[in-house]
Structure 1
Amino acid sequence: MDTMTLFTTSATRSRRATASIVAGMTLAGAAAVGFSAPAQAATVDTWDRLAECESNGTWDINTGNGFYGGVQFTLSSWQAVGGEGYPHQASKAEQIKRAEILQDLQGWGAWPLCSQKLGLTQADAEAGEVDATEAAPVAVERTATVQRQSAADEAAAEQAAAEQAAAEQAAAEQAAAEQAAADQAAAERWAAKQAAAEQAAADKAAAQRAAAAEKAAAQKAAAAEQAVVAEAETIVVKSGDSLWKLANEYEVEGGWTALYEANKGIVSDAAVIYVGQELVLPQA
């Protein structure tokens, strides 16, 4: 396996944590570092050893897969610690300066595989001296980094809260609309049921009135018929009588035919009547 292959495998595995600074840094974690530059830092030799593991010591390398420079910054982590442009385009001193801020914030865990392989500890991070002229800019950049992250976190939180509030408002409005629709549908069903009940009651009342009227008419007709029968004059058939003879005898208007029609209920054959039958004489 050639040297480039070995470098790529090591760097790819190690730089996972390096890329996480933007997502992993919090105001609380940054505040724990403090806002003044440390009196001590890792030696240049320590950074050279780490760069040898990460990039074969090539400080101006661009691997083409999102990682840059000797200690393999991602662009987001580089910018998060105040770097400008691309890491591999900066000087070795500038890359180490930014790496010091990253190490100060995340520890050697920013380079998990290589720092473990090299056995780097906190003692290595404090083995060198920091020039007083460099300490202040580092502190200012650390402060700026924390402030940028704090502002980003606050903006993200506000955005999330606004989206949550909007979602809750939309859900409340939807629930209200659905409830209103349900209430309207229930009211319409009740109104339809009430109208159907009223129509059924009206139909029943009308049917009852019609039946009562029909019954009254039938009773009236029956009473009238009975009254006519009661008022009608009757005769009793004697031996030798016939409808023709009786019609002539009682001068029935219309003759025997009228007499027959008036007595169809009891005379089935106009030529046959029986002694003792009571016949009704038609009214003139």
Structure 2
Amino acid sequence: MRPTARVRAAAGMLAAGTLASGLLLPAGTAAADTPDALPGVSQQRRDASGRPAGCLAPSTKGTQLTPWPQTFLRPDRVWPLSRGEGVTVAVLGSGVKDGSGLLAGRLDLAPLPGGPDPAQDCVGHGTFLAGLIAADQRDGAGFAGLAPRARILAVSVTNEAGTASADLLAQGITTAAERGARVIAVGVALPNGTDALAAAVRAARGKGALIVAPAAPDTTQSDTSGTAKPGPAYPAAYPEVLAVRDLAPGGALPDGASAVLVGGRIDLAAPGDAVTGPG
């Protein structure tokens, strides 16, 4: 377990899970693991020359403890009313490989023409995020997804190294909306948008889908002085998208995080630091 790891996309996934189950957010044992890198950044093992050296191995770590996001958000208070039944949440990321069976019977795949296989997840990121939304409850395990009866539609929009492009993300959003996803949870944040991506977002909203995405980019841009500074993240920067920022345990901002995201807006805040999910 890496308790200090921070994954900005986790905040968006937890927000998507609460929306799927009807929660309103404030402004086996599940493996406990958070990826070392942020979404959109390669997590694939590489050899000494920098060439890909195979996919990451599945996590073997576990915990019986209830993760802090669940004690903070208290999804158990809404589960008697709804656990997300009848809601499909599309997870746009590195694919979903449900080796732990926490999504058994509730995982659908949406391959893109000529795109990566959504049933494979070389970096583990999409699987981790899908679990935050809809992983089933298990006896003796504290972890569960916030909407544990929702369906997951896996849409892979990255290559094997976990890197996404705006064009592939646009295709993924379009496909998710056409497949009837009511919530489209985007697990990547890009520093630049495109006309195609903006059009895909508008079309998906026109079909009634809610798009949720990280409010902060995974990389920094530099100004003319050479000083690194955060810039807008896409698709969250589009007005049709629900932009979500991350919170640390207890609801505080993560260490070193700014209260204001330069170049972007914040619609919602949710746990995104020291988050536990399926590895």
TM-score greater than 0.5 by the shorter chain: no
Tell me the TM-score normalised to structure 2 length: 0.21
Tell me the TM-score normalised to structure 1 length: 0.21
Higher strand share goes to which structure?
A: 2
Higher helix share goes to which structure?
A: 1
Which structure has more relative contact order (CA 8 Å, sep 6+)? It is 2
